[in-house]
Amino acid sequence: DTAVSQTPKYLVTQMGNDKSIKCEQNLGHDTMYWYKQDSKKFLKIMFSYNNKELIINETVPNRFSPKSPDKAHLNLHINSLELGDSAVYFCASSQAWGQGISPLHFGNGTRLTVT
Amino acid sequence: KQEVTQIPAALSVPEGENLVLNCSFTDSAIYNLQWFRQDPGKGLTSLLLIQSSQREQTSGRLNASLDKSSGRSTLYIAASQPGDSATYLCAVEGDSSYKLIFGSGTRLLVRP
């Protein structure tokens, strides 16, 4: 199936730990994103990569570090997890960046719970 | 700073009813406006994308309109079905930032 897939679906961990979320898209898209959806369901962009280059880096603590080994993959590593990091993290991709014509395709999300 | 607002926050209608979801945005300098559907525990599914030069887009029972000058969009759902129950989000892409800014969504329940 062509899709945006992210793993794991659920992640429960303790404060202070380091964890990673992986994302892969096989749609042939050039641009990938990480979004965070908080408890009030607000979706906010965190990062965007276009052809492996970082193009959007919102005001996110530097404990969050994205890595794009190739344009089909965008992983998110989080150091020293805090309670406030609990949220659902969505990966997304689009065909191109900055052209206003390509809709976003989302993964099913990773629900991170920090205890 | 772009802000996107969706009204109502929640809506419950009987099956078969036609309904309208509203979205407003504060900065009219947009590339496009997108409507998404989110089912519980799932990601977002793109429904319609309206480019800034367009006034509306249609897909099946869905019709989305865009009035850039007034900063408004509506999503019209005809003959609603229980399967339409989901949260509907609108988002605008800024024409200089290229960032997609989301509203908080309208939670729709279509009762059989």
State residue B68's pLDDT score.
93
Indicate the residue of B31, B43, B102 with minimum beta-carbon distance to A100: B31
pLDDT tens-digit profile of A62-106?
Answer: 999 999 999 999 999 999 999 999 999 999 999 877 666 678 899
Buried b (16+ CB within 10 A) or exposed e, A2-40: eebebeeeebebeeeeebebbbbbeeebbbbbbbbbeee
**Cβ pair B43:A107 closer than 8 A:** yes
State residue A6's pLDDT score.
95
What percentage of chain B reaches a pLDDT higher than 90?
82
For testing the chain B interface, which of A104, A105, A108, A111 should be mutated: the one with the most B CBs within 10 Å? A104
Contact (CB, 8 A) for A112 and A6? no
pLDDT tens-digit profile of B21-66?
Answer: 999 999 998 889 999 999 988 889 999 999 999 999 999 999 999 9
Does the structure show a pLDDT above 70 at A1?
no
State residue B10's pLDDT score.
96
- Chain B interface residues facing chain A, Cβ-Cβ under 8 Å? 31-32, 34, 36, 41-46, 49, 51-52, 87, 89, 91, 93, 95, 98-102, 104-105
Classify residue B82 by burial, with Cβ atoms within 10 Å: 0-12, 13-18, 19+. exposed
